[in-house]
Each structure stands twice: as C-alpha cells, then as structure tokens.
Structure 1
Amino acid sequence: MKDNGIRIFLVWLCVAAAAVADPLLVELPNGQLRGRDNKGYYSYESIPYAEPPVGELRFEAPQRYAQQWKETFDATQPPVECMQWNQYTDQENKLTGVEDCLTVSVYRPKNSSRSSFPVVVNIHGGAFMFGGAAGNGHEAFMASGNVIVVKITYRLGPLGFISSGDSALPGNFGLKDQRLALQWIRDNIARFGGEPENILVVGFSAGAASLHLHLLQKDFQQLAKAAALISGTALMPSTVQQGGRRRAFEMGRIVGCGLLEDSTVLKKCLKSKHASEIVTAVRDFLVFDYVPFAPFGPVVEPVDAAEPFLTQHPLDIIKSGDFSQVPWLVSHTQEDGAYNAAIFLAKQPNGEEFIGELNKRWYELAPHLFFYRDSSKTIEQMDDYSRDLRQQYLGNRNFSVDNYLDMQRIFTDALFRNDSIRSIDLHRKHSKSPIYYYVYDNPAARGRASLLARRDDIVVGTGHGDDYFLFFDSPSRQPLRADEEIISKNLIKMFEDFVQGDKGSLTYDSCVFPNNIAQEHVEFILIKRNGCEISKADWIA
C-alpha cells in the first residue's frame, strides 16, 4: 500500500513537471489535451463539456461529458457554431453550424508576473437563435494580460428552445447547456491556471438575458463571483415568451410529423428528423425578413419537468427575493434598438425603403416586432396596444426615412431601455447585492445596424454592440478609432477590477459607479467619447 502511494506521488510529480515544461499540455479528468501557442497567449479550444446532443439526447437536458481520451485531445481547433438559421448569412439559405457543438474554449495570457488568473466567461448573443463563440473575440483581453477568458457554445433555435409546455418537451435546453458549462468551468479552470473563486460572467444581448436568468437561480453564486449584462435582461419581452406549445406543434407539422396533439409522439417524431430539416423550418416562422427575431427562446417550464431550469416567471422570482446575491452590472447603448429597426432602412427592389411597409402593415408586424402577439388576450387588445405605441412616438405622422430615429426609439425603449431600468428598480427592492448600470453613447463608424440596413448614409446613433465589440472584439469593427481604443482599455480594466476586487465595487475610468441598492433613484454612468459622468434615470419604466 505504501509503495502504491509512492508510485502515485511520483506519477503526479511527472505530470506536474510535464505541465511546467509544456504549458500547452493540460490534464483533465478525461485525459490530456494539447492547446496552441498564439504568441501572446495560449488557447485550448473546442473542449467538450457535454455528451453530443444528438440522436436520443436531442431535446434532452445535457449530460456531462464522460468519455476518456486514449490519446492527447487536440484542443487547437476553433469552436464551431451550433446549428442555426443565421440572420447574418447574406443568402437565401441561412443554415450554418453543426448539431454536435457543446464545447468550451479557454484563452490564457502569457504573463510571467502572475501564477494564476481571474476568469471572464463569455455567453454570446444572437436572439437565442444564432451566433457563436468564435464571433466574440478575445484578443483585447489577451493583450491586457490579466484574465483568462472562457467562451461557451450552447444549443440555439428550435434545437435549444423548442417546448411543448409540458414535461415531455419542457424546453430551455440551451440554458441548461450554459449551466453545465459554468459548472465545468468552476470544476476545471484551475487546471488552466484560473481562479475558480474569481469568475465574472459576461453576457451580451440574448447572452445577457440568459445570464440574468442564471442570476435568478440560487446556485449561481456558487458558480460565479459577479455578472455583467450587456444589452439584455430577463424582463425583455423577447426573453420569456408565451405560445411555445403552438410553435412546437407547428414545427411538427412543417417537418412532416402531421397534425399531432400528443407531446411524446411529437418529440419522438422530431428526434427522427435530420437536424438541418428542423432548423431550416425556422424560415416558416418568420413573417418579414428575420421577424420575429426570436421565434424560439426561454419558457417557463412545468414543475414536473426533469431537471427544470425555470419554473416561475422571472418577475415573480425577483419579487420573491429568492435568487443569487452577487454584484452585477446592467447596461445598454443609447440607441440599442438600431439593430432591430435597421432592416427597415434597407431598400426594396423598387428602390423604396422597407420602412414604408409599416404604414400598410403596422398592425400585422408590430405584435411580432415587440413580442406581444402571444401575450395579448384578444385581437382588439393587441390592436389597441399597437395603435398606442405608434401614437406615443410618431403621433399622426406616417413612418418614413425622415422620422426613422423616432421609429428606432420605439425599439430601443420597448426592447432594451425600459426593462433594463425596470429590472434594476425591482432588484434593488429585493436584493442586498450591489447593482450597477451604464449607458454607452459613442457611435461606431460601422456597427451592426449598418450591416443589416446595407447602407452607411443614415446616422442611427450608438447601436447594439457598439460597446460590447470593444472588449469582445469583432473583425467588422477593426480598426478602432483612437477614442475607441481608449474606451476599450477602460472597459477591460473595469471588468478586470470587477472580478478581482474584494468589495464588489466598480469603476470606469474616473467614474465610480453608484450602487443602486443604496440610491433613492436609479443612477448610471454615461460613457461618452471623451469621458464619463454620473446621471440619473429620468423615469422608472
């Protein structure tokens, strides 16, 4: 027995010595993996955290990856996208990605002054429908050299979020993927030199809404130290929707399962279909361009579902006060709705902008654009809200390019700003943890709105992602302007300090964030081109 103990100790010494000799080699419970040397940092990409969600594991909660590697695992391959109908694919067939996609990718800077690193985890955006880890760069964080970055992939669209509203097909598989990935990171990041006690999770757009839903779970405080929600919350109308059962059975009809009523039969049929057939059917749920932009997303699950993620509406959880107590940051840009509104600036074959279509189709499209079609009890109620919404922002004017910015403000307020403020206001009444808030106002030269509008001649303001892609960089934003370079470094330092600090305080440049728990009114930091200032929200949504 003593000899066995000595033998095990010697093996451990050999493994430790090898790790010191070759930082590209990492020992995991599944075996050894080899990463890549990228000059200023090391990368360990496409590491599976769950069994492939294919075959009988499709439409099921993810299972922890348990395979043992007989040879050194190749962790040099960039992460692939989960199968999706991608809005940014500029062709009629928008199908991209693969079904076997549940991986994490780890990026560690070369910094000889540190023996270990705090960790920043990224949950990408994409309306729960598209996107991927590879589209969210890590170079800016690596250049700073003070944190490990981990990016996760999770199931999207119908493969990740279809729900029949009962225990047979409860939904939220993408959220359950995220939770398992966060558990994997907590359990394994020390093997890469990370500090499991210092983890900040950053989510963007749908990733931010996802992160808010994680915050509402009691166990999140065991997985992370702090959270940052960039342009997204759980209270956005696109996050938790009604009507999932209707869409699930409509999916079954589209792919040839027939007019079913039994969820178990539906699930069995959908499992027999090719994944590409299911994902391609997303186009049949779109009524105009990529509208609604999130036909499949999170739902409230039945309490008898196996391994449920969400069994109450987020609003009820917040009011109960029964959620994780960690410091968190909420943000949005000054014109976040530009992402959603910009498609109406694109020109039709006749040379006219699509915005003119709203004058003819407002009552048809508005419920899809702002996600109240399934929550309205009657058509009359739905039409009344559509009329009031238009009247509030445009009065008696027609939609036109001349008043585009007024139309865009509807999207900013209804889809981002209002519910960001409402989330903060509700949480500060039922929470003890610090809550911080910033608004970013510094337009990118070419943001995502320009890509969707297919034009640069109309100023849309500071749009969706104009701040986010300064720290999780995107090739479409390169090169950065001089002012954006400064802001990028300030934002990265803000996150580094947030994850490393002991008191949960937060600072951007010279501005100390007000803690909204202690404030009479909701306050935020306004980040502008040449600095920052503390402002007060002028009203509560």
Structure 2
Amino acid sequence: MTILAKLILLIFCTVPIYSIQTPSDPIVQLPNGKIRGLNHGSYFSFESIPYAEPPIGENRFEPPKPFTGNWSDIRDATKSPPKCMQWDQYLFKEDLLDGQEDCLTINIYTPSIGGNKKYPVVVLIHGGAFMFGTADQSGHDYLMKRQDTVVVKMNYRLGPLGFLSTGDDVISGNFGLKDQLLALEWTKANVAAFNGDPESITAFGFSAGAASVHLQMMNKNFEKIAKRAVSLSGTSFCDWVIMKNPARRAIALAKHLDCPTETSSSIKLCLKKKKAADIVRAVSKLQNIGYNPAIVFGPVIESKTVSNAFLSEHPENIIKSGKSAQIPWLASYSKDDGGYNAAELMQQDSNGKEMIEILNDRWNELAPVNLFFENSVDENQLDAYSNSLREKYLGNKRFSAENYKLVQNMYTDLLFANGVRNAWKLHKQYTNSPVYAYVFDSPAPLGIGQMISRRFDISFGTVHGDDFFLMFKSPVPVPFSKTQVVQSETFLNMVGEFNANGTLQFADCKFRENNANTNGFYVMEIKPNSCETSNFENML
C-alpha cells in the first residue's frame, strides 16, 4: 500500500456518590457501580460508559431509555467504544458498513479525580452528517494538555437507525438527537464524580454536531443543562439539517428491504425484524453519485401527535417566539466550508475525467437533492431555482475542473454560510442572550478537500474543519504548520476561557456581543496572522 493510500485510509474520519483514585488505577463510583479508567499522566480517561439501554430489538426506532443496569465488580472503562452502526463515507472501500447497533455510551476525560477541585466541562457532539462518525473520531488531547477542563464525548444513533421517520407518531424520528439529550442529562447528573462542574457545561459541536447543538438550544429547558454553546460550521438553518417529507425516504428504504409500505405500522413492524446491517446498507440505494446526497436521514419536525417530541416546530418559529434557550452562543463558518461536499466532484475516473462533468447533463436532477434545497423550495420551482443558481455562480460556463472553485463557492453559500448567517440574524433580532460570530479564513496545508477528492494537486482554500481540527485532533496525523501551531494555542485558550468564565477573545481580538439590544452585527475575521472584528450588518 502506498503512503498516500495509507494516509487516505486514516481519515475520518442521578447524583454520584463518591470518587476515589490511585495514581495508576483511577476508580469512580457511579450510581450503577464502580468503574476503572486509565491514567494518561496529565489526565484520566473513562470510556464506554453506558448512558442508555441498548437500542436493539423492541427498542429500535424508539426514544432512548436511561441505563438502569448495575454491576457488582469494578467495570472496565478503559476500552474505546464501538461506533454506532453506520454507512461510513471514509472507509474507502466498497462496503461502507461499520459499527454495531448497541452503542450508546459516553467517554469522560478529566485532569484529576478526588478532592474538592471542580473543572468546567466541554461536551462535544461529533459531526458526520448525521450519518457516520463516533465519539472517538476527534481527539481530546489538545484541550486536556493545555486547559483545566473535563471533556465529555458521546455516541448517538446515526443514519436510518437514528433518524428514520414515517412523519407521524409511529416512527417519530430524531432518535439520535434524543440520544444526545439523554447523554447531556447524564453528564449533568454524573460529571461531578469526575471533578466536573455540573453548573459550568459548554455544549460544543462541529458540522452536524454544530447543528445538533443548535437544535438542542431549541428546547428552553436546555438552559438547565448547559451554560454556553458553540456551533462551528453548522446550524439548524442550514438546508441539510431539517429533512422535508421524511415519509418518502422511509417508504423508499422499506421497499428496498422488501417490507410492506401500506401503513407506517407495517413499515415499523417489518424493519424491526430486519438485520440492522441490512437497514444501514440500504443507504447506498438512496444515494445518486458517490456519497451524495451526504445526508439521507436527518432531523425532522415531528408530528404534533408525538408525545415528548424533540422538535415539533421549525427552529425559526421557536426563536421568534422566545422559546429557545437563552445562553451565550458562538457560531461560525469557514470561508470555503463547501469544499467538504464539493471536493468529491474532483475525483477522477480511470480515464482521468472528473466527476464534476456529470453535472452538465444532470444538474437539474441532482442539484435539488445534493444541495438539499428540495427541503426549502417548492417542487414546481426546483428547475427554475436550479437554473438560477447555475447562472448566478457559473454564468454561461460549464461544470469543469477549471471552474471548480465557482461550484465550491455555491456549495459554501448554500450549505453553510447562508444557514449560519440566517441563524445569526434570528438570534440577534429575537434573543437577549449574547451571540458571537467569526469567519475562519486560514487554509490548512492538508484538509478534508484533499482527502475526499483523493487529490493533492488542488488548493481548496479554508475548508470544513480547518478551524475545528486546531481544537480537537484530526484522525489524520498531519503535522501543523508554524501558523497552525500558534492558531491552535490561541483557539484552545479561547475555548478554555469561554468555558471557564464565559468571556470570549481570540488573541488580542475581543468578540463583540450581538443581541436584540445592539446595533449592527459584529463578526470576527480570523486569518493566518491576524484577526479583526468588524460590523458586518450587510452580511445579514
């Protein structure tokens, strides 16, 4: 296997009772029993702690149930958790199936155990398009080695097992989001056993994890769990987040698995009897080019008949009505975020022809699905809207490798920038809690664009994750440039200070608060060797 091939394959790709510790064998007492973790020298880890009953058998396609098991022996919490079963974009092989259905666990990393010291807590919700990913995909070492912080990471259900919905109260959907909420509640109740401060929790997410954090904020009671929130490159206003007409996807999946589709109950009964692997493998039948659409199953607005729904109205209405959580929120995007979705178009076939050429003949067919505006544009207007986008970004140019950057700009605006800006605008108009904003414009030498395109002869700009992986370690072991070393340290100081004290600053640049009582809208621009906060009211 070549070095390049190896590199590509590495990518992402109740109240506690008491705590005791010995230097080499940290042990924590939880209500369920004792657990043993690992001593890493500068911090302790406790992994694969169950927070919910296994979502298998009759629990499949149901809201999570709090874990009620007990153990008398000391439970081993030193092993990394398995992935939740998924169709993983980053396996780089024909069969993308990975993980297992019994997967609802939580990881905790703490600077110390025992004593009276309490640390602020960062709860990270991983990304992965609601389709793939795992608690382990983003390393915590940077924060643990530089900040006095407890880091919590969780697994939650993904793809059809986490987000299938029949659009009614039979298969309500949003199971992955309900898993996240239960994990957050577990953290609030138990993190003190790990020297975490349950009154100082920051919810932190990137990409689909960022949108998840924003969706958690749509519940007013979230104020009782988290004191601050961070969303990098994703909000609930991005078109790829809220799925429209989810029953259509549920029926399509059922048909591929030879299930009856006359009623939602018949779909559910049949799918509960199917192998989880067969359900997840069927994702490929609902994609059209490569791993597109990247999100086949995602969050939905649940039926009014669903009891204890996670989301029963659109986030826009929730924010306007004042029912969202009023906590400080930092939201951002990268200048070329769309490279994550667009870079696949630069993959070459055996003849050296780029996938982007396919769009010339199939644009009106593929654009609404792959760019997710079928969720926001009336069906009879889809062709007209597709054509207007092509004209706006390409003029009379063809889809080609030479014009790729124009296409990437379109993807950035439609999939990330517009959704983040719209969320900024709504929070600024209707909430009194602080909203902070930045745009990151500092390309990484090697990023998601190169990985997904499988090409290293293209500069994709500042792509999805170029800021996040300065804070949480990327699965790809790429050394930082000198600029990135400085930026990483600055970002970590920013996160640590925000998490501990609620103040927000990047190097010498102070973030300006935006809310309903301020004039203008202030956005920080972060570049390779500078940062500047300016009034960007026109961005909204």
- After TM superposition, is the score higher than 0.5? yes
Superposed CA deviations along residues 208-244 of structure 1, whole A, max 9, x for unmatched, are: 1111011111111111110000100000001001120
> Which residue number corresponds to residue 106 of structure 2?
104
> Which residue number corresponds to residue 452 of structure 1?
452
> Which residue number corresponds to residue 328 of structure 2?
327
- Structure 2 unaligned residues grouped into runs of 5+: 1-16
Give the C-alpha shift of residue 23 in structure 1.
Answer: 6.4
What aligned pairs does 1:56-67 form with structure 2 within 5 A after superposition? 56-67=58-69
Give the C-alpha shift of residue 477 in structure 1.
Answer: 4.8
- Separation in structure 2 between the aligned mates of residue 444 and residue 102 of structure 1, nearest angstrom: 33
Superposed CA deviations along residues 457-478 of structure 1, whole A, max 9, x for unmatched, are: 1111000001101111113153
Superposed CA deviations along residues 6-53 of structure 1, whole A, max 9, x for unmatched, are: xxxxxx8xx66x446776100000000000111221100010000000
Is contact 1:344–1:353 with CA below 8 Å preserved after alignment? yes
Superposed CA deviations along residues 409-429 of structure 1, whole A, max 9, x for unmatched, are: 001001111111111111111
Give the C-alpha shift of residue 316 in structure 1.
Answer: 1.1
> Which residue number corresponds to residue 31 of structure 2?
29
In structure 2, relative to structure 1, the CA distance for the partners of 1:334 and 1:100 (3 Å cut) is same
Question: Any idea what SS the aligned residue of 2:142 has?
Answer: helix
What aligned pairs does 1:265-344 form with structure 2 within 5 A after superposition? 265-344=266-345
Give the C-alpha shift of residue 306 in structure 1.
Answer: 3.0
In structure 2, relative to structure 1, the CA distance for the partners of 1:477 and 1:409 (3 Å cut) is farther
What aligned pairs does 1:67-216 form with structure 2 within 5 A after superposition? 67-110=69-112, 115-216=117-218
- Separation in structure 1 between the aligned mates of residue 334 and residue 286 of structure 2, nearest angstrom: 29
The amino acid that maps onto 1:471 is M
Give the C-alpha shift of residue 438 in structure 1.
Answer: 0.8
In structure 2, relative to structure 1, the CA distance for the partners of 1:447 and 1:123 (3 Å cut) is same
Give the C-alpha shift of residue 375 in structure 1.
Answer: 4.4
What aligned pairs does 1:503-522 form with structure 2 within 5 A after superposition? 504-517=502-515, 518-522=517-521
Superposed CA deviations along residues 455-500 of structure 1, whole A, max 9, x for unmatched, are: 1111110000011011111131531112111111111111111121
- Separation in structure 2 between the aligned mates of residue 91 and residue 314 of structure 1, nearest angstrom: 37
- Structure 1 unaligned residues grouped into runs of 5+: 1-11
- Separation in structure 2 between the aligned mates of residue 227 and residue 38 of structure 1, nearest angstrom: 28
- Separation in structure 2 between the aligned mates of residue 386 and residue 421 of structure 1, nearest angstrom: 22
> Which residue number corresponds to residue 527 of structure 1?
526
Identity of aligned residues (%): 44
Superposed CA deviations along residues 321-357 of structure 1, whole A, max 9, x for unmatched, are: 2111100100111100000110111112221111111
Question: Any idea what SS the aligned residue of 2:80 has?
Answer: coil
The amino acid that maps onto 2:318 is I
- Separation in structure 1 between the aligned mates of residue 25 and residue 494 of structure 2, nearest angstrom: 28
Q: Confirm whether residue 396 of structure 1 aligns to residue 415 of structure 2.
A: no
Is contact 2:147–2:496 with CA below 8 Å preserved after alignment? no
Is contact 2:206–2:231 with CA below 8 Å preserved after alignment? yes
- Separation in structure 2 between the aligned mates of residue 112 and residue 192 of structure 1, nearest angstrom: 8
Q: Confirm whether residue 382 of structure 1 aligns to residue 382 of structure 2.
A: yes
Give the C-alpha shift of residue 110 in structure 1.
Answer: 5.0
> Which residue number corresponds to residue 468 of structure 1?
468
Please give the root-mean-square deviation of Cα atoms over the aligned residues, in Å: 1.7
The amino acid that maps onto 1:521 is G
Larger Rg: 1
- Separation in structure 2 between the aligned mates of residue 333 and residue 54 of structure 1, nearest angstrom: 38
- Separation in structure 1 between the aligned mates of residue 43 and residue 289 of structure 2, nearest angstrom: 44
Is contact 1:81–1:96 with CA below 8 Å preserved after alignment? yes
Give the C-alpha shift of residue 376 in structure 1.
Answer: 3.9
Superposed CA deviations along residues 274-331 of structure 1, whole A, max 9, x for unmatched, are: 0000000000000111111101000000122132100001111111121111001001
Superposed CA deviations along residues 388-423 of structure 1, whole A, max 9, x for unmatched, are: 011111111111222211110001001111111111
The amino acid that maps onto 2:127 is G
> Which residue number corresponds to residue 499 of structure 1?
499
> Which residue number corresponds to residue 410 of structure 2?
410
The amino acid that maps onto 1:475 is P
Is contact 1:249–1:261 with CA below 8 Å preserved after alignment? no
In structure 2, relative to structure 1, the CA distance for the partners of 1:23 and 1:199 (3 Å cut) is farther
The amino acid that maps onto 2:529 is N
The amino acid that maps onto 1:338 is G
Question: Any idea what SS the aligned residue of 1:332 has?
Answer: strand
